[in-house]
Chain A
């Protein structure tokens, strides 16, 4: 496969793939680490890829294997989804890849529509990686109030993205 095509495929599925890994690991750092591993494996095995197959299917298959390996390392943790659930999620994220990729643009719009305080809290939490207590100190709120605000904001963003997705169809 040519590099340019690989680049195109990468840009096409990197978001849905990352969403799947985030769902499997529940932790953005683990998801990013796994994402690194998956793309390294894909790149190394590129010569073995049969162009007549679906690159998306192949990629998510490899991602699923890496998730299962990761899962085995976390076997003692009670917060890991079952293998069956993870496999099902892999299939669904593969099938919904376009839908998940397209949400990105709508998310940008929805964030722009947030109230000032909500936007500030989102920036502090997800842009600067601050903890709720730190955010609370900056905006004179309790940590619990910050968590509540974040929860409401995420709900608002979910609904906004869903609405814009439907409007765009």
Chain B
């Protein structure tokens, strides 16, 4: 490993690399494959660390005994990464290792050893200590429990006449045909995970200890350590439950109700258990918000001596960090100056790093606006929740009378509540907070999504959508009649206030 160049790599990821170092690193990455591998290994480390450390107890913690609560079928729980990918949860896997088991490394990952109890494999009785390889049918005796151990230390317990078909291959693939089983799985490497399937579902276990109890009305998952990804088969919702957490899934009976929506903001907790970006912050995700300026707010700065009878006007607004787009509508005879991008442009100071929206135009003297400048802030979408959208343009006042979502075709929105009281209007000249919460709820027939919009802590509107999760879509906050049609919003903010 080249330590000098590792310093370049570290500086790149720390954000402290000078321009010269960046250029050197860039050139070297193009030319040297070994350096690229070194670079990717560092990136891999930085990407994996947050996942790896989000486990539970240190390595020396003793393993808990498997629960006596069995897994009875897996309905309606199953794991499908493809569904998770639709929701963009690709980054939420986590696994960590406990102590290395003292079993021969030469054993195939899917080989089993009976460590306790009695059972039979392919019709032949097994005694404690017997080792066998899939494929084949494994059955526990009626009234008895059988405990098996994999080479990596994972344990499988079959309860009372449970029957499991072991599939061939390196991965631990089981088909639960009848009865119940309990799994106690150490973190798995890709390619040899435990996959348990029933007639109705499929679960891929990455490495965790959890208890799963299923009844006619609901399933209860309790995770001791590690993480489990859960797919609710009926709704398609995928959630990740971390160590210490639990997750309850209702059966598909119309009588089973989800949490009732409430007008009390404190009770409107989104039901998505994981925060995508870690504790302390929630970042906004995809979307754009527009702020419109009806006219420039600064007097002309200079006369355009190159064009007699013309004057120049400038307008600038400081913007918070982020990706902005600007456009302006002007009469055709207005012309840009000092900008090759047109009348309106986003400028970023290389000295201070500040971003400014600038409107610079040249127009005939005596001719006035209208000139409209539109700013868009490009955001990213966080489907778990969006909290606290701040007006981002300083002390400029804005009007806000209603909030709405711009929904794709086919999604219906039913307005449940709307507050029009004047006393809940935004405060002019001050920062105003807009909050949107997404809550999944059961309406007696199906899961739906409720959207609650708050202004300065007061519930303003509550609508329900005929979809089950917040879609990744473009949204706008519109103010209706007023000085400005839209408001700009902030970016990173504390999750807890």
Contacts and interface: CB of A to CB of B under 8 A. Distances in A.
A111 B279 CA distance: 21
B277 A11 contact: no
Given A7-B204, A11-B193, A35 B40 contact: no
Contacts of A126: 49-50, 52-53
A89 B43 CA distance: 11
B276 interface: yes
Contacts of A31: 47, 91
A128 B82 contact: no
A11 B29 contact: no
Interface string B257-277: 000000000000000000011
Specify the main secondary structure of chain B where it touches its partner. Answer: mixed
Contacts of B17: 79
Contact of B45 (A6, A78, A129, A157): A157
B15 interface: yes
A96 B283 contact: no
B72 interface: no
A151 B6 CA distance: 11
A33 B59 CA distance: 31
Given A7-B82, A122-B53, A36 B39 contact: no
A128 B280 contact: yes
B150 interface: no
Contacts of B277: 29, 32, 129
A65 interface: no
B481 interface: no
Interface stretch (A48-56, A98-106, A135-143): A98-106
A76 B86 CA distance: 31
B285 interface: yes
Contacts of B278: 127-129
B279 A36 contact: no
A81 interface: yes
Given A32-B276, A111-B96, A126-B49, A92 B26 contact: no
Nearest to B59: A112
Interface stretch (B184-192, B214-222, B233-241): B184-192
A69 interface: no
Contact of B46 (A14, A16, A28, A101): A28
A10 B79 CA distance: 13
A144 interface: no
B30 A88 contact: yes
Contacts of A111: 52-53, 96
Given A15-B48, A18-B91, A19-B44, A127 B36 contact: no
A39 B85 contact: yes
Contacts of A35: 88, 90-91
A19 B189 contact: no
Nearest to A158: B45
A105 B12 contact: no
A126 B52 CA distance: 9
B81 interface: yes
B22 A11 contact: no
A100 B41 contact: yes
A81 B29 contact: yes
Contacts of B279: 128-129
Nearest to B96: A108
Nearest to A14: B90
A89 B39 contact: yes
A151 B11 CA distance: 10
A103 B97 contact: no
A19 B323 contact: no
A107 B52 contact: yes
Contacts of A73: 323, 378
Contacts of A129: 50, 277-281
A108 B283 contact: no
Interface string B144-155: 000000000000
Interface in A35-59: 35-40, 42-43
Contact of B380 (A3, A11, A33): A33
Nearest to A13: B190
B10 to A, nearest CB: 7
Interface in B366-380: 378, 380
A52 to B, nearest CB: 21
A61 interface: no
A37 B286 CA distance: 11
Given A105-B187, A108-B95, A126-B53, A89 B36 contact: yes
B80 interface: yes
11 contacts: A10-B81, A31-B47, A40-B88, A76-B348, A85-B26, A85-B30, A107-B45, A111-B96, A128-B278, A158-B45, A161-B41
